[in-house]
Structure formats: C-alpha cells, structure tokens
Structure 1
Amino acid sequence: MCDLSAQVNVCNHVCDSWFVELSHILARLPVNTVLEFRVVCTSWRTYINSPSFISKHRNLYNKNHSKNSHLLIAESTRQLCLQRVTNDQILTTLAFLPPFSPDIIIPLIWEACNGLFLVSVHADQQGICLWIPFLRKSLILPPCPIVTPFLFAHYVIGFSPSCDEYKVLAFRIHTIIQGYEYEPAMAVYSLKNHLWTIKINPMNVDAWTSLRDPFSCDLYVYCGGIVYWFTKVDPEIIHAFDFNTEEFKNVPVPEPLKESKNLVLFTIGELLAVISLPCILVLEEHDVEYRWREWCSDSWIQNVFDILEEHYSFTPKVFFVEESNTFLIIGFWGRIQFYEISSKKLELLRNGDANFLFGGAYVETLALLTGNEGMIFEPFP
C-alpha cells in the first residue's frame, strides 16, 4: 500500500510539473495558436479561459515578442485597416474593421490599451464597444449614464495593474445648451462587473474641461496604469488620470518646456518622457510627488528634436523602441519616419498618403475570451 501511495504521489508530482511547464509554453504563444489548443481537452480549455492564464499570457507573450513593433489604424478605401509596423519598416495588414451600423462610414477609434480598442458603434457616438481584433469579436458596453442624445462624452480606455482590470473613463465638459447649463461629469466602466459608476471628483475639473478639441484623444499617452495628455490651454500642466485610484492628477511641465509650442509626450519603458534640450527627461513618482530626472543627454537628441519641430502645426505621435534604439514618429496625415540612434539615420516609411487615425504598441490579448452575465458580443468574420 505504501509503495502504491508513493507511486501515486510521484505521478501527481510529474503531472503537476508537466502542466506548469506547459502553461509557461502556452503563455508565450500567439493568440491564434493558443485558441487552437483550447480544443485539445476540457481541462486545457478551462485553464486557457481562466483569468490567471489570460493575465499571464498578456505579460509573457507581449514582453517577449511584441517589443519591436507597433500597430497603426489607417483609413483605406473608406474603411479602417489594422496594420503592423516592424523595425524592418514593413507594413503588414492584420485585420479590417467593418462599420458597426449603416450610418457609419468610418468607425471612430477613441483609444486602445493592451490590444483592446475603444470604438464608437453609431454615428451619433451614443454607443461604444471594445473591439478585440485577434479574437474577431467586440463587446457592446452598456449605455453611459452621463451621455444623452444631446450631451456627448470623451472616452479613454486604460488598465489598472493593482486590480488587474480594464476600465473605461467617460468625462463630459461644462456645456450650455439652449440656456440650460450642464456641469462637468465623469463615469468609470469596469470590465469585471460590466457596469458604469458615476464618480464624484471635484478636484482637477480643469483636467477634462480643457479638452475642447475633438482630436485631443490623439495626444493621450498611456503608461503604468496612468493616461497622460497635454493641452495648449494650460502649457504648464500635464493632465493625468490614474486608473488605479480613478482620480485626476496634475503633473508640472519641466521648467525649460513651459513656453514650448509643441510639447511631445512619449514613453520609455513604463516612464513618461519628454525632450528638453539638450536631454530627455523621464517622470518618476516619489512619495506621491512627481519629479523629472535626466534619462539621456547626447548629440542625437538635437536631431530628434529638429524632426519633431517639423510638425509644429500637428503634435506627432512618438514611440521609442529601446531594444533597437529607434524612434517611430507619426506625423501629419500619417507621415511615418524612423530615426535610428546608433547610425543617426532618418528613414521615411510613408509620406502621408494615408490618414492614420491611431498609433500604439502591438499587443495580442486574450481579454474578453469569455464573458460575464449580461455581456453582448458581436462576432466578426
């Protein structure tokens, strides 16, 4: 009996070790491959559908395979096309996004986070959804409580690392319509419970009151559970919304940049960064206070600054790929340039022949692989 019990324990240990190794392998595979493994057996399907594996895959796969590429959404024959840009400067079409309703010619992309795209589903922007291109489906969000047929909202999607949860921020600026005054309002949607919650946040109301430009969403920069943006209404403040605490914050602009006409925000790893000649500064938080420190000071920074100055009438999107020391710059009307630091060489990938509506890091996600009660999904061919 003892020998049999020992043998069972050994077998269980071997099975557990094998399954742990398998889980590490699965977490490093592309989404399409992982989905194929779900049909192997019930236990594999259950494990792949689990929140713990979905989080593990998000962290491991994208950390190891997606650093050197970015996604762009371009207008192509009056349709949105999802494309991948790699360091060898090749555009690869991944998916097409068809209109969600007959009254939409080109869907409006609000923002994206970790492979989830926030999209308007009607021309009047009364409904929004989360589009997951790698799963070929979308989740229709419940009606936002601060939106009416004549009161619109701005939307930002983000991820809260502290609770491993996706959220959508909706905020409405101060509005006067036909003599009636409507105060600013905000609400936060939680993907875990599929509900909107109206938030009371009397501080930093100017953070969203300043967003009067309909294209302000082009200036959002997301990193570390916080979304940052800059408006020319107040050139001395960078606004921020923390998806962990669900609160707005104000970050001071570095002193040399307070008079800048074209402040460009981007990320270096998990840090917010700006170019302040003759150096690049990154933002760090110390004891609830924000401090800027020098990240790099070299002659090539002047070259990058001069390139950005060429877009003085249009704030460009900037992405920095640390592994290849390359800047990807998306300028006016979709002009795409690469600047390689080591060779100090600037190359043009696309000269504005397409209207790029969005740029972001390439992320494959299994989020929304399964849904909760009350969720409505729309499949895509």
Structure 2
Amino acid sequence: MKTTIKDIAREANVSISTVSFALNGTAPVAEETKKRIMEAVDRLNYVPSSSARSLVTNKTYSICLHIPNPKSNIFKFMGNTLLNDMLQGIGEVIDEHNYNLLLSWDHASSSHSKIESLAKSKTVDGFLFFSPSDHIEPISYLSQNNYPFVFMGPPINNMTMNTVNVDNFEISYRNTLHLIQLGHKEIAFISPGSLDYLLSEDRYQGYKAAMQDNHIKIDHRYFYIGDTREESGYEAMRSFFSLKKPPTAVITGRDIQALGVLQYCTEFGLSIPNDLALVSFENSDIAKKHQITSISTELYQIGKEAARLLLKQIKHNKRNFHPQNIIIPSELFIRNSCGSTKPLEP
C-alpha cells in the first residue's frame, strides 16, 4: 500500500500541514520537528507526488536549458566535453534544490514559439540560455511577462537582464596581446562559429581591438569563419598558407580547431612554434594533451553560477530582484605551442 502524507504525519506525531510545510518549504518548521519528519519519510519510503507538490507551491520544480541547434556551426553534442562541464555545474546546483532539467534547442524560426509555449503553459519555472545569438524575441517575451531567466552570455542590445559569462572580448584581446608581445604582427584569427553568435562576434572584436591598440594593420585575409569541426582549422590553414605572405601566428576560436591546425602543420612540415605560433580558447583536454596554449572559458563555473542565479530569481518570484551581470575569471595556460613558457610582462 502506498505511503501517504497522513502516514508521515502519524509516524512523526505532527499535523499533516506541518509535514507539507517541511517537505515543500512553504513555511518555517522547527529543525527538530523537520528532522523527525524526514526520518519518518526515510523509514516509510515516502515519495512525494510531484503534481501535488506543484499545486501547493505553485512551482514545477523544473527549469529549461535552451541551447543552439546541435546541427548549427556553433554547437554540437558529440565529443563536447565542455557541455558536460556546464551540465555538471548546473546539475550540482539544481540537485540540491530537487529541481529537474528540461533540454530545448532552436529549430529554424520556431525557437521563439517554443520558449513562449513553455512559459505560457508554465511547464518550467525558468530558463537558462547557453551561447545565444542576438535574437531578442524570446528574451523580450520572458522579460515583459516577468518570467525568470538567465543568459549564459553577454547582455543583448544593452537590455537589462541576468547574465553569467566569461568576458569573451577581454580573453580574446589577451590571447592576441600575448602573441603581439612575442613579436608577432601577422596574426590570423579563426572564429568559433558564425559572427551571428555573440560569442564569435565578441572574440573577433577582442582580436581586432588588440591589433589596433598596438598599431598593427588588420589583414582581412587572415580571418576565417570556423565551426565545431577539427576540419575547419585545417581548411583555415589552407586558406592562410595560399597567401604570398602567410601568418606567423594563429588564434583558433576553439580547441578542436587547433587540432586541424596541427594536422596541417604536420602534413606540410611546419614546426609549432618555430614556423607558426598557436593559441586557442577553452583549455579543454585537447589543449592539455597536445600542449596548446589556451585560455579557459570556465563552463563548469558558468553553469553553476547561472543555476544559482536562476533559482534565486524563482525563489523571489523575480519581482524586486535586481539583475546581476556575473563575470567568471579566466586564465591563460601557456604551453609549448606559442613559443613562450611563461606569461610576459605587460
């Protein structure tokens, strides 16, 4: 016979309402009483009804993580260890609060209606957005309807919103400056994806700013739009080295692209870093294994802080919750590929 809340109340010698308060957190319960209730729950193997809990708390205890379409040139599931890092960060936080995670992604022009549908039906209590583009329709809808959400990226069009991110402009500037300080001027840049994505645009702008601040002319032939494939790094190198004056250094927008750069260099007898210096983004296992200088993008911490921020919004019903823009610090890990073994003085 299924255990009910009445059985828990009888076992713990408290009222049914006190059990409800303790399980749902809807009213204060003395620690000793709560302990007695939880011990009764364990003894009787009680599993609360999620639908009943939702009726009491007016919450679904689910949040939605919205990501780009896995078929896009900015994101994929296969072999994406950084996605695992982000999911672990989110999962650790929401698990502490007994929340579940719903995964959603863009599909052509339907992402707006999908998010709007989830919000209107109150299927989830809030949204996390990962690596979004600058399309603001779904964000505007959520904002106008006071629906909790957190952007794992920079604010869009100066809109007031909660965000958690690394400063992609700053870390790209830092990568580029490191190569300039090593004496390079012919520096090529491979974007992590289409410039329609804020991540790619910010990193490209950081690269250009570092070049301009150091009075180095930007050669647009040294720019290549990459994607999530190793091959995009190889293809970029083929383009760069078809020039009469190829670059002396390359910045890859993601570590997987750096593998393609290494493959090209091996095939054509180029030495890293003697013939070509290489730096990248993410500091993934790829960078560690192949001794690639790479700057961390801290997706584990981004996921963790974003989940915390979203749950705070949900707890406070978003009203009177002042938006926060959290920047996670990054670190440049210097390895053999750039020709320097230690950080250079500014």
More strand as a share of residues: 1
Structure possessing the higher relative contact order (Cα contacts under 8 Å, 6 or more residues apart): 2
After TM superposition, the score normalised by the length of structure 2 is 0.25
Structure number with larger C-alpha Rg: 2
